[in-house]
Structure 1
Amino acid sequence: MTIIADITLPASTFPLGRVFQSFPDATMELERVVPLQETIMPLVWVEGSDPDAVESALRSHSQVKNVEVLTATGAESLFEVHWLPAADGLAEALLNTGATVLDARGTAESWDFRLRFSAHEDLSSLNVSLTEKGIPVTLRRIYHPPLEEISPMSPIQRETLLAAYRQGYFQIPRRINQSDLADELEISDSALSQRIRRAVSKLIERDVLSEEAGSR
């Protein structure tokens, strides 16, 4: 049975969060988390801070092995961060419990995670592991959705896509242009474009590519 848990962690309790405490105006969103043998490699979007300053802060962290700037568009930049093995108590706990990070976003104060587990025991193990490492966990929600209800998109990507659809952004001709929709959502044109493109990309990966693979 699939278990979905929404948790909040203080930014000061894990390395990636601590790096971004130096950027109080920034907001971060994980594009995805790639599990490696003894650590994880997050791909993180950063909005609201100078990308050169963010890159410098990441490179200077003692537990970061390498940093790559994958793309920079407008107010957002995408970073690929390679951590040293076992450098992160949170990463270790996620790897040991087989948790999948469905969504993660943060500020200088705290980070919200949406995690998927295959059993209640794995969620309990994560909680115990983090607590033993001195990382306080706030469990906001836990539920058991049917597999078909698990969205590949983050909540903010889903909300943006729904708003675009309801406002007629996808109609021909469009009832609302990108600039006006971005104004309604109080984000930049670039941020809107990136959210829609990432959401559509994830839907294609789940529904189109998986169907194509299944038909072979």
Structure 2
Amino acid sequence: MIPIVDITVPASAFELGRLLEQLPGVRIELEQLVPIENSIIPLFWVSEGDPEEIEAILRESPLTEHVEFLAEDGQRKLFKVIWNREVNGLIHPLIDTNAKVLEAENVGEGWDFRIQFPSHDALSTFRDCCESENIPIILRQLYNPQYPDGGDALTDEQHEAIVVAYEQGYFDVPRGTTVSELAAQFDISDNAFSQRLRRGLGTLVRETMVES
């Protein structure tokens, strides 16, 4: 069983919180978090704010080894930061439990995370690590996707397509979004997104609702 949790933590529990302290009007969305050798590399989008000011704030941290402004998408700017292994807060509990951050963004004065763990034991270890680091966690939701032994699990792309479609109201009546709008977010064609969604849903139904 692979648990997925939605949690909320204080801004100070994640190193990017220093941006929220000095630029309270910005919105931050984590794109990827990559541990490499002696460094931690987050890629993240920032809505609003001046890129030079954002880079300057990030460079002030003694944990920052490198900052790079990568691209711009409308109102959002994509940054890459390299932190050294001294970075604390939520980072090491995530890495030590092989957790995968599916989504992360700032909400008010805190962070909302959706995290996938390889097992419930890993989730318990993560909780214990956060307690030892005095990181308060609010558990908003716990999901337990389960597949029978020998079944086919969803691919990461199929999982993300289903979750995003659900969250944006594609399955509502009336629908809150369209295939075209969803496909544009993934930068793929309407047909490719439709196939990804249908194959993912087919796998989900077959492995969780249909007896062999």
| Offset of residue 148 of structure 1 | 2.5
After superposition, the C-alpha distances for 1:74-94 in whole angstroms (9 at most, x for unaligned) are 311000110011312311111
Partners in 2 of 1:38 and 1:141 — Cα distance? 33
Distance 1:49 1:59 in 2: 16
Relative to structure 1, the CA distance from residue 128 to residue 39 in structure 2 (aligned partners, 3 Å threshold; closer, same or farther) is farther
Whether 1:15 aligns to 2:2 is: no
Q: Deviations over 1:96-138 (max 9, x none)?
A: 1110001101145010001111111111111111111111011
Cα 1:124–1:39 shift into 2, 3 Å? farther
Indicate how the Cα distance of structure 1 residues 15 and 34 shifts in structure 2: closer, same or farther if over 3 A, else same.
same
Taking the TM superposition and a 5 Å limit, the aligned residue runs for 1:18-97 are: 18-97=18-97
Residue 152 of structure 1 is matched in structure 2 by 160
Can you give the 5+ residue segments of structure 1 that lack an aligned partner in the other structure? Answer: 171-191, 208-216
* 1:156–1:132 Cα change, 3 Å: same
How many aligned positions are there? 182
Change (3 A) 1:128 1:166: closer
| Distance in 2 separating the partners of 1:79 and 1:103 | 16
Deviation at 1:156, TM superposition (A): 6.1
Alignment partner of 2:154: what SS? helix
Pair 1:119-2:119 in alignment: yes
Task: Report the alpha carbon displacement of residue 58 of structure 1 after superposing the two structures with TM.
Answer: 0.6
Q: TM-score, normalised by structure 2?
A: 0.73
Q: Aligned AA for 2:91?
A: A
CA contact (8 A) 1:26 1:108 kept: no
Of 199, 203, 210 in structure 1, the residue corresponding to residue 186 of structure 2 is 199
State the one-letter code of the partner of 1:142.
L
Distance between the aligned counterparts of 1:154 and 1:25, measured in 2? 30
- CA distances 1:114-170 after superposition (whole Å, capped 9, x unpaired): 11111111111111111111110111111112442862359668645949x866683
Q: Secondary structure at the match of 1:15?
A: coil
Amino acid at match of 1:91: I
33-42 vs 23-32, which moves further: 33-42
C-alpha distance 78-115 of structure 1, shift in aligned 2 (>3 A): same
Tell me the C-alpha RMSD between the 2 structures. 3.1
Distance 1:157 1:45 in 2: 21
Distance 1:108 1:143, change over 3 A: closer
Closer, same or farther: CA 155–18 of 1 in aligned 2, 3 Å: farther
2:92 partner letter: E
CA contact (8 A) 1:105 1:111 kept: yes
Instruction: Classify 1:200/1:144 alpha carbon distance in 2 versus 1 (closer, same or farther; 3 Å).
Output: farther
Which protein is richer in helix relative to its size? 1
CA drift at 1:6? 0.8
Partner of 1:182: none
Seq. identity, %: 33
Contact 2:168/2:177, CA 8 A, preserved across alignment: no
TM-score, structure 1 normalization: 0.72
Q: 2: distance between equivalents of 1:140 and 1:116?
A: 14
